[in-house]
């Protein structure tokens, strides 16, 4: 298997071939029931792209996102992230990939409760082995960049939804990832705040060249992206312009 | 990934749930305190027994008269009056014997001024104090001359001195025993309890001769209650025992096949039994206490399992932002360990305090050694690792995608 590319920087950041995902559920009545969620998904995403993945609920977009984020393993097919075959990576290497290469932003923010914004942002660095003082310095710098410099000592429940999502974005960015995976990042936010958050993503993509993959079911959010992948019943039905 | 940061995370998690952490810790505190307390009481009992054995004197035999029998009825051992002062002197001349102390006893009323006290009056030879390895705290014991002349002199035990004289110095004063005046020549050092639990300091000693002639009187003059015999060394004890048996049978003119009319008791053997019993008790107390430590450990496992379930989403988030399984395992294991170590420290303090309280309240000897504190602490940590490992492994084995989805 040609898992190593001659020049990984020239190769696509994400290369997915015939990815399938089947969940096995033992419902206790008629034994194991298999339900396939993804069918032969193939996808290339280059560095610096801003891609929106759309689809109705149950279309498999969240499953695809989990696979891309190395949070789950495919049933079959291949996934190369930055030129490395993810299937060949051990648990610890996957954790390292999630720590170094990918930054996650979730719909529900997923901040650690009863921890200050600063500590939340600094936590990935803790797992990267960065010292405490340096971690806090970098975390504070990122909070300032997202306009939350004055909220470093606040806990998530003291912040508004938009502020919490900014903290989450800061956390995603703290280890200088190449890829940001955002799973309905504006799903819990009002229109105005959604616009502000999307502006942050747009700026990160434009100014720092960070690859962004965004899952959404709102057309006006998807409109911020430069490329649209539409899923239906576990299959890619559109891959191209945003206006489709 | 650095350990210090993960310790910080563990401490933070424990702080967030103070009440729960405290209650879980309580199980550990009680367990460790129980172990320390029980061990110290057990050790104290052993020390008490050892002291009693040491206070008895070393290489001792006690020779008691045999049982009398009237018809088929056998009386208790020591009820006969078959041993005499002559027997004692003969035993003293045996090659393997160092000293012999013939003894007679009786109870009598003592008076000094307005105070009176009823106690055991023991008639002994001056050698008795050597055999018992018992010295005076004040004054002297009576002399051979006093013994031979049946002088009215008395040596007091600590309890008697306190009860009759209070703060006064008894030496040189005169007390009355059964109304006869006796000169106090000295006060003995405190000896404490004997193996059978008697307070050895609650007694007075007069010359055997004086006792026989003036205090107790006897159907058979010259008989003694029993004698203490000290062997020359630990090695000759068996030899000494058979020599005593042989000599006394000969002196009592017992034919081959007849029962002896006396009993020789090796006190070293008795001491070994007592020591063994104290050890068993010590062990049993420790075992009982460990059960509470075990229960505390199960409490920790229980609460850690609940904690892992409750924090499934947190674990998922941590995994998503780069925590590997080892980091998760370490965090939860450390939480259990911190509970145990803090609980262990508090338990040791509580155990020492409890041991002190017991020693004060029940007037018991308790002994706390660094070793037993270390043992309790080590045991507590082992419990923490043992019972913390399963929940921690459960946390670390969660799949990130499922943990994240957990509500």
Evaluate if residue B75 carries a pLDDT over 80: no
**Per-residue pLDDT averaged across B359-378, rounded?**
87
Question: What average pLDDT does the segment A103-127 reach?
Answer: 92
What domains are defined for chain A? 47-74+89-240 (3.40.50.300)
Of residues A98, A115, A175, nearest to B320 (C-beta)? A98
CB A88 within 8 A of CB A97: no
For residue B17, what pLDDT is reported? 86
Question: What percent of chain B shows pLDDT beyond 70?
Answer: 95
Residue B80 pLDDT > 80, yes or no?
Answer: no
Task: B77-81: list long-range contacts, CB under 8 Å, 24+ apart.
Answer: B77/B263, B78/B225, B78/B226, B78/B263, B80/B261, B81/B218, B81/B219, B81/B220, B81/B223
Please state the rounded mean pLDDT for residues B306-320.
93
Give the residue from A50, A97, A68 showing the smallest Cα distance to A208.
Answer: A50
Q: Which residue has the higher pLDDT, B36 or B214?
A: B36
| pLDDT score, position A234 | 92
A244 to chain B, closest Cα gap in Å: 31
Give me the pLDDT at residue B224, please: 86
Q: What is the pLDDT of residue B25?
A: 93
Q: What is the mean pLDDT of residues A229-240?
A: 92
**pLDDT confidence of residue A7:** 44
Cβ distance of B321 and A98 shorter than 8 Å:
yes
Q: How confident is the model at residue B394 (pLDDT cuts 50, 70, 90)?
A: very high
Partners of A25 on chain B (C-beta within 8 Å) are none
The answer to whether B139 faces chain A, any CB pair under 8 Å, is no
pLDDT at A226: 93
Interchain CB distance below 8 Å, A96 and B322: yes
Least confident of A218-227, B53-62, B173-182, B341-350: B53-62
Name the interface residues of A facing B (CB cutoff 8 Å).
Answer: 66, 69, 71-72, 91-92, 95-96, 98-100, 104, 106, 110-115, 123-124, 126-129, 131-132, 171, 175
> How many angstroms away from the CA of A66 is the closest CA of chain B?
7
Query: Distance (Å, rounded) from C-alpha B194 to C-alpha B134?
Result: 13
More confident residue, A162 or B70: A162
- pLDDT interval class at B198 (50, 70, 90): confident
Question: What value does the mean pLDDT take over residues A210-223?
Answer: 93
pLDDT above 70 coverage of chain A, percent? 94
Cβ–Cβ under 8 Å, residues A21 and A198? no
Domain coordinates of chain B in residue numbers?
Answer: 3-52+273-405, 81-260
Q: Tell me what pLDDT residue A5 has.
A: 38
Using the predicted structure, report yes or no on whether residue A17 has a pLDDT greater than 80: yes
**Mean pLDDT, chain A, as a whole number?**
89
B320/A69 touch (CB, cutoff 8 Å), yes or no: yes
Does residue B1 carry a pLDDT above 60?
A: no
Strand partners, B29: none
Q: Choose the mutation target among A73, A112, A179 for the interface with B, i.e. most B CBs under 10 Å.
A: A112
A139 confidence band (pLDDT: 50, 70, 90): very high
Whether B405 has its CB under 8 Å from any CB of chain A: the answer is no
What integer is the mean pLDDT of B232-249? 88
Residues 6+ apart with CB under 8 A from A243: none
Query: Does B404 contact A128 at a Cβ distance shorter than 8 Å?
Result: no
**Does residue B68 carry a pLDDT above 80?**
no
Annotate B96-109 with b (16+ C-beta within 10 A) or e (fewer): bbbbbbbbbebebe
């Amino acid at each position: 298997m040609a898992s190593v590319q001659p020049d990984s920087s020239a190769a696509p950041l994400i290369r997915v071939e015939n990815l399938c995902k089947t969940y096995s559920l033992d419902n206790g009545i008629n034994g194991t029931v298999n339900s396939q969620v993804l069918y032969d998904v193939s996808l290339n995403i280059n560095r610096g792209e801003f891609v929106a993945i759309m689809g109705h609920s149950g279309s498999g977009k969240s499953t695809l996102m989990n696979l891309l984020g190395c949070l789950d393993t495919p049933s079959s097919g291949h996934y190369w992230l930055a030129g490395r075959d993810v299937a060949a990576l051990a648990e610890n290497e996957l954790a390292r990939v999630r720590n170094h290469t990918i930054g996650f932003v979730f719909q529900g923010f997923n901040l650690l409760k009863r921890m200050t914004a600063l500590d939340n942002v600094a936590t990935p660095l803790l797992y990267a082995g960065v010292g405490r003082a340096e971690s806090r310095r970098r975390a504070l710098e990122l909070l300032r960049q997202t306009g939350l410099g004055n909220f470093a000592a606040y806990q998530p429940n003291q912040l508004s939804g938009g502020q919490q999502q900014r903290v989450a974005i800061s956390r995603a960015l703290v280890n200088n990832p190449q890829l940001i995976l955002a799973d309905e990042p504006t799903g819990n936010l009002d229109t105005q705040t959604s616009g502000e958050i999307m502006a942050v993503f747009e700026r990160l993509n434009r100014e720092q060249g960070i690859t962004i993959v965004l899952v959404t079911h709102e057309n006006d959010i998807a409109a911020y992206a430069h490329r649209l992948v539409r899923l239906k019943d576990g299959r890619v039905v559109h891959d191209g312009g945003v206006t489709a | 990934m650095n350990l210090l940061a993960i310790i910080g995370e563990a401490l933070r998690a424990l702080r967030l749930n103070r009440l729960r952490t405290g209650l879980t810790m309580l199980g550990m505190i009680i367990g460790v305190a129980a172990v320390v307390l029980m061990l110290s009481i057990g050790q104290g009992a052993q020390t008490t027994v050892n002291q009693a054995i040491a206070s008895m004197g070393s290489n001792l035999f006690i020779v008691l008269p045999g049982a009398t029998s009237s018809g088929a009825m056998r009386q208790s051992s020591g009820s006969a009056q078959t041993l005499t002062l002559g027997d004692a002197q003969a035993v003293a001349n045996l090659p393997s014997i160092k000293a012999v102390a013939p003894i007679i006893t009786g109870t009598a009323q003592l008076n000094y001024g307005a105070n009176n006290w009823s106690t055991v009056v023991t008639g002994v030879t001056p050698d008795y104090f050597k055999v018992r390895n018992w010295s005076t705290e004040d004054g002297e014991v009576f002399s051979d001359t006093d013994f031979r002349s049946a002088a009215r002199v008395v040596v007091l035990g600590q309890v008697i001195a306190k009860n009759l004289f209070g703060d006064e110095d008894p030496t040189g004063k005169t007390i009355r025993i059964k109304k006869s005046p006796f000169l106090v020549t000295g006060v003995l050092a405190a000896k404490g309890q004997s193996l059978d639990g008697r307070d050895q300091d609650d007694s007075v000693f007069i010359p055997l001769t004086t006792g026989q002639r003036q205090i107790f009187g006897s159907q058979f003059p010259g008989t003694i209650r029993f004698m203490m015999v000290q062997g020359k060394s630990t090695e000759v004890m068996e030899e000494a025992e058979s020599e005593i048996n042989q000599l006394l049978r000969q002196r009592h003119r017992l034919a081959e096949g007849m029962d002896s009319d006396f009993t020789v008791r090796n006190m070293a053997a008795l001491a070994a039994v007592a020591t063994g019993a104290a050890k068993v008790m010590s062990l049993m107390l420790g075992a009982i206490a460990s059960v509470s430590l075990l229960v505390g450990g199960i409490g920790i496992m229980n609460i850690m399992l609940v904690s892992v379930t409750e924090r499934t989403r947190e674990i998922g988030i941590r995994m998503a932002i780069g925590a590997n399984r080892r980091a998760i395992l370490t965090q939860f294991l450390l939480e259990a360990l911190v509970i145990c170590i803090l609980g262990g420290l508090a338990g040791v303090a509580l155990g020492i305090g409890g041991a002190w309280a017991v020693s004060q309240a029940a007037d018991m000897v308790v002994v706390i050694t660094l070793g037993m504190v270390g043992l309790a602490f080590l045991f507590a940590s082992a419990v923490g690792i043992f019972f913390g490992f399963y929940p921690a492994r459960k946390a670390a084995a969660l799949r990130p995608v499922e943990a994240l989805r957990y509500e």
